[in-house]
A = this chain, B = another copy of it.
């Protein structure tokens, strides 16, 4: 017989090994010093999760939802969304204070339904399409026409017509409200067409476009469509307001939004467009973009103060971005523009980034000269505009996208957007851990853009176990349907037996810690977060599992 001492020794060495491995994790220190309330809340959340793994996700039980053949916690978000909505766990997470939202593209932040509703208020907004609207095709997602939107000056207002009638002349601008009211397919079909062009549906993500290479085509097309709506000053202002207000309802306390300043926007039908003013003219420059942004920040802060909720919104800043398909010469214009904006709005410009499909467009090395020069210049000018680069948003192993990770770090990036392929790089993860370079991880974005097929396949546990700081983010929720960050929190929580509520708390704290706020501001915001977190865990403790 194996003796008791032999068994005891085994279990002791096993415990030690697990403890040793977890020592790198950022939640380990926090877990060692929990309050009694936190301990209890952590346990209650684990219990609720375990119950719902069976009752909602059929884990180890069959046929909980016969209409969904394959079901498990952390499964495909677009299939699971309605089930998630009904869980207790999700409803609890909606109330959690989430700290800062660090990876969010402004053009992808507001529910398309709301965006359309805002746009419909403005008589100047027009729509057109290449040919009469027909929605009865065999393959919806690939052959439906895309709407193009633009605000026009009164003198150019279009004529009222039925865009679904054979008489509609392709390319003719029609006032948006009229187009909807007079559409012979019905207003509901019209809305469904517009909204479908602004977000990715489950068939596209999981069938027709089920690869990172293919889904990006649909993904990019949604921005081409939304740009015509958002790029109209009165819509833009209301859009940003909606973004902040809905973020606040979700427990987000501060935002660093990536705004695409690519100047000459070539729309789907090759129309040059930047931002249209209330008069329908293309006359809103980048300085004004920032004024609008600041005005909305101030408005929201003022409103919250009036509502006695000033703790809930600390403000918002902007990460200047342009698209990584421009030439390196063109980049210089944007870098200059970024510096000019920073000089005028030092409190608003938080950093610089390049966006767009890394797999298809230029690697960071292509822009090496202007980027290094920018570092020198901002240093000389005493301007703090850190790089906050997208990098490694790929499944590639050693290709130029995967290698962007080396360059992001060597160029001194403050954080890394996505960093999905970082899991392949033990040395770079060590550098992130030691230098405090967090990854802005966007779980649902990664899944819908087919970097991973489900959350259990996501490399997030690898990042956690290597002690890489993490800020969970929603990326482009308008396109992905993860309209609040709570969905991402949910998917992370149900996909792990290691990570729990405290792990999420540590990422929320880190989102503040690794923001571009000043140290004094971080301390202030952290204190507010602590207060709200305390109230949150106390509320959990009143629940029965």
In the complex, are the beta carbons of B426 and A423 less than 8 A apart? no
Query: Digit string of A375-392 for contact with B (CB within 8 Å is 1, else 0)?
Result: 010000000000000000
Asked if A397 and B70 make an inter-chain contact with CB atoms under 8 angstroms apart, the answer reads no
Contact of A70 among B211, B398, B406 (CB under 8 A): B211
Pick the 3 closest A-B CB pairs, nearest first.
Answer: A398-B498, A395-B456, A398-B497
Can you sample 30 A-B contacts with CB below 8 Å? A1-B369, A2-B368, A2-B370, A17-B409, A20-B427, A21-B427, A21-B428, A59-B213, A69-B210, A70-B211, A72-B211, A75-B211, A395-B454, A395-B457, A396-B497, A397-B495, A397-B497, A397-B499, A398-B496, A398-B497, A398-B498, A398-B499, A402-B497, A423-B423, A423-B462, A424-B462, A425-B465, A452-B453, A453-B457, A457-B457
Q: How far is the CB of A390 from chain B (nearest CB, A)?
A: 18
- Whether the Cβ atoms of A427 and B369 lie closer than 8 Å is no
A21 touching B373 by the CB < 8 A rule? no
Known: A24-B426, A453-B453. 12 other contacts (CB 8 A): A2-B369, A7-B372, A14-B410, A17-B409, A17-B410, A18-B403, A18-B406, A69-B208, A70-B210, A397-B456, A452-B457, A462-B462
A260 to chain B, nearest CB (A): 24
Does A6 reach chain B (CB closer than 8 Å)? yes
Contacts of A406 in B (CB 8 A): 14, 17-18
Cα A427 to Cα B368 in complex, Å, equals: 36
Interface status of A461 (Cβ within 8 A of chain B) = yes
With most chain B CB atoms within 10 A of its CB, the pick from A14, A18, A24 is: A14
Q: Is A91 an interface residue (CB 8 A)?
A: no
Nearest to A465 among chain B residues (CB) is B424
What chain B residues lie within 8 Å of A409 (beta carbons)? 17
Please report the C-alpha to C-alpha distance between residue A1 and residue B369 in the assembled complex, in whole angstroms.
Answer: 8
Residues 439 to 467 of chain A near chain B (Cβ within 8 Å): 451-454, 456-457, 459, 461-462, 465-466
Using a CB-CB cutoff of 8 Å, which residues 202-218 of chain A contact chain B? 207-211, 213-214
Q: Does residue A13 face the partner (Cβ distance < 8 Å to B)?
A: yes
Q: Contacts A395-B456, A410-B10, A424-B461 known; A376 to B72 CB distance under 8 Å?
A: no
Do A213 and B18 contact each other (CB < 8 Å), given the known contacts A397-B496, A424-B465, A456-B396? no
CA distance A495 to B221 in the complex (A): 28
A213 touches B425 (CB 8 A): no
Chain B residue nearest to A369 in the complex (CB): B2
Beta-carbon contact of B466 and A426 below 8 Å: yes
Instruction: Flag whether A399 is at the interface (Cβ < 8 A).
Output: yes
Chain B residues, CB < 8 A from A425 = 21, 465
Interface string of A391-430 (1 = CB under 8 A from B): 0000111110011001101100000000000011111100
Assembled-state Cα–Cα distance A121/B457 (Å): 45
Name the one of B70, B399, B461 contacting A214, with C-beta atoms under 8 angstroms: B70
In the complex, A214→B60 CA distance in Å?
Answer: 10
In the complex, which residues of chain B have a beta carbon less than 8 angstroms from the beta carbon of A72?
211, 213
- Nearest chain B CB to A494 CB, angstrom units: 11
Chain B contacts of A497 at CB under 8 A? 396-399, 402
Q: How far is the CA of A426 from the CA of B459 in the complex (A)?
A: 13
The reply to whether B369 and A7 form a contact with Cβ atoms under 8 Å apart is: yes
The complex places the Cα of A370 from the Cα of B6 at a distance, in Å, of 12
Q: Which residues of B contact A402 (CB under 8 A)?
A: 497
CA distance A2 to B375 in the complex (A): 10
Which chain B residue has the least Cβ–Cβ distance from A453?
A: B453
* Set of chain B residues within 8 Å of A372, measured between Cβ atoms: 2, 6-7, 10
Q: Which one of B376, B399, B423 lies within 8 Å of A2 (CB-CB)?
A: B376
A213 neighbours in B (Cβ, 8 Å): 59, 72
Bound form: Cα–Cα A358–B252 in Å: 40
Residues of B within 8 A of A403 (CB): 18
* In contact, B70 and A209 (Cβ under 8 angstroms): yes
CB of A203, distance to nearest CB on chain B (Å): 11
The complex places the Cα of A83 from the Cα of B472 at a distance, in Å, of 39
**Bound Cα distance A424, B69 (Å):** 29
Q: How far is the CA of A304 from the CA of B260 in the complex (A)?
A: 67
Query: Which of B14, B210, B457 lies in contact with A407, CB distance below 8 A?
Result: B14
